[in-house]
Every structure is written in structure tokens, then in C-alpha cells.
Structure 1
Amino acid sequence: MTTTRDRMDGGEFQTIREYLGLTADVLAGILKVGARTIRAWESGRDPIPYAVPDQLRAIEDYTSDHVDQLVAELSNQPAPHIVIVYRHDEDFAAHHSDQAHLSARWWRFVVARAVYASTETVSIASYQNGDRSSPE
């Protein structure tokens, strides 16, 4: 990631947004800007403010902390290791109210990164209508 003295370009910004598993709309809400602003930054039409790289770093730190927590939980629980993912933001928010400003997509990226980092065999189950579907 660029330093705070360098201006981030649109390609780097979009790559980081996608790596974090955030849509333009969700990131716009977190950064308190409009989704059109995000698109303008990504296209290079408008310059990205100097403070944005630090804001993205904070979001990545938050995300990495959740990946690390999930990896630790998986290693500390007895098998079978099952992680629930959500297809809809409303379901995710209902079960993770402290992270409701994020999205089900963000959680799926956290889970994917944690499963990849974990030494445990993990099954991923989708939450649907109050029930888990069979592990995918």
C-alpha cells in the first residue's frame, strides 16, 4: 500500500477494496462518501484524498483481526469445524450486530481467508431461513 505522502491511484484502491471483500456501496458507507465518489476514485476521474490509505489500513487491520480470531476459534474447538456464512446482508447483520455496517460478502471473505490460514479441516455451511444448509 502507498505511504500517506503518496497519492493512491484508482487501481490500487479498487484492488484493496476487492481484497477486503467490500462492495463500492459498503465501502462508501464506511468512508462516509457516496458510491459515485468510490467509482470516481477507482476510475481515476477524481483524486483519492490523502487520508484514505490510512482509513483502508484501519479496515484491513479490523478484517485481519477477525480472520485471526476465527482461525484461533477453529483451532480451539473440537471437530467438526463448521463456519456459517450468509448469503444476505440482513441475515449477517441479524447474527453479527456489531459488524452490521459491513456485509455478508465481507464475512465470506473473512471466512475464506481464515479457512485458508487454518490448519484445521473446515466445512462451510450457508445460513438460510433460520437453518444451516448442509456444508458446501
Structure 2
Amino acid sequence: MTETRPDPTGIPEGEHMTPAAFRVAREFLALPPEWLAENLAVTTQTIRHWEQGTRPIPETVRRQLEDLQRLTGEFVGKAVEQLMDIPDPGIVTFRTDAEYHAGHPESAYPASWHRAVCARIAQEVPGLAIAYADAVQSEDVKVEAE
């Protein structure tokens, strides 16, 4: 069974998210303010207001951000599980959003998120090789994160 790894930025249920916790969570997930604003159906200015503490962070936004953290943690856990028993494990990542979405059109996340996921996987998989997708010349790479 896949273990879900908790994210250190999680806020206990019922507690308000502070501006600092919001920004730490966004940056931990490597989500640009523009991407997060679009996916939360707000403006980038609203994201800045939340991070600066000039506007309160709605409970629904806290829950959405926690869902993103949970899904990301689950994804990292599954990738780690797949890679742990592979000799010479490797993973590919992408330089730009365009490259990432060309390879993974089903994913709504930005390439920065994918690179952050690869970093988290590398913390748990000894000897993990990470390469840009366009630099990989063979089938040596074992897993492509989402």
C-alpha cells in the first residue's frame, strides 16, 4: 500500500491559514502566483493580498491548497514506491510549461511543480538520476512524474 507523506505546511482542520503559511505552501508546491490564481479563479493581485496579509484567506482556498498538497504528496509517494527497487533509477523533468504539457497534456500543473516533485522524490530515492526530457536518448528513465 502506498504511504501518503504529509507535507510540513499543512494546517490543522479548523485553523485559519496565515499569510506566511499560504506562501510557504504555494512555494513548497512550486506554483507560480499566476497559475494558482487561475486555478483558484482569482486574480494574481488577490494572491499577493493573501500573502501580504491585507485580505483574509478564505476557508475554501485553504482547503483547495491542502488538497493540492495532499495530491502532490500522494503522487510523490507512488513515484518513490515505483523507483525504490529499480537499479539506477531515473526520472525526467521539463524546462518549460510548453515542454511539460507536450509530454503530459493531461496534467494541469506547471513545469515548476513537476521539478519540485522530482526534487522531493530525489530526497527519498538514493542515487536518483534526473534529466531533462529532451536530453534523454534512451529508455533508461524508469518513471515520468505525471
Which residue does 1:102 correspond to in 2? 109
Residue pair 1:4, 1:51 contacting (<8 A) in 2 also: no
* TM-score of the two chains, using structure 2 as the length reference: 0.79
Question: 1:76 Cα deviation (Å)?
Answer: 4.3
CA distance in 1, matches of 2:13, 2:75: 25
Greater strand share, structure number:
1
Structure 1 residues 2 and 56 mapped into 2: Cα distance closer, same or farther (>3 Å)? same
Q: How many residues end up aligned between the 2 structures?
A: 128
- One-letter code aligned to 2:133: Y
* TM-score of the two chains, using structure 1 as the length reference: 0.84
Deviations, residues 12-43 of structure 1 (Å, cap 9, x unaligned): 10011111111111111221211111111101
| 1:125 alignment partner, one of 131, 139, 142 | 131
Q: Does residue 56 of the first structure (1) align with residue 65 of the second (2)?
A: yes
Show structure 2 runs of 5+ residues with no match: 1-9, 138-146
Show structure 1 runs of 5+ residues with no match: none
For the residue of structure 2 that corresponds to 1:98, the secondary structure is coil
Residue pair 1:70, 1:114 contacting (<8 A) in 2 also: yes
For the residue of structure 1 that corresponds to 2:84, the secondary structure is helix
Which residue does 2:101 correspond to in 1? 93
Task: State the identity %.
Answer: 30
Question: 1:7 Cα deviation (Å)?
Answer: 2.5
Q: Does residue 74 of the first structure (1) align with residue 86 of the second (2)?
A: no
Which residue does 2:120 correspond to in 1? 113
Which residue does 1:83 correspond to in 2? 91
For the residue of structure 2 that corresponds to 1:108, the secondary structure is helix
Spell out structure 1 runs of 4+ moving beyond 6 A: none
- One-letter code aligned to 2:15: D
Structure number with greater CO (CA < 8 Å, separation at least 6) is: 2
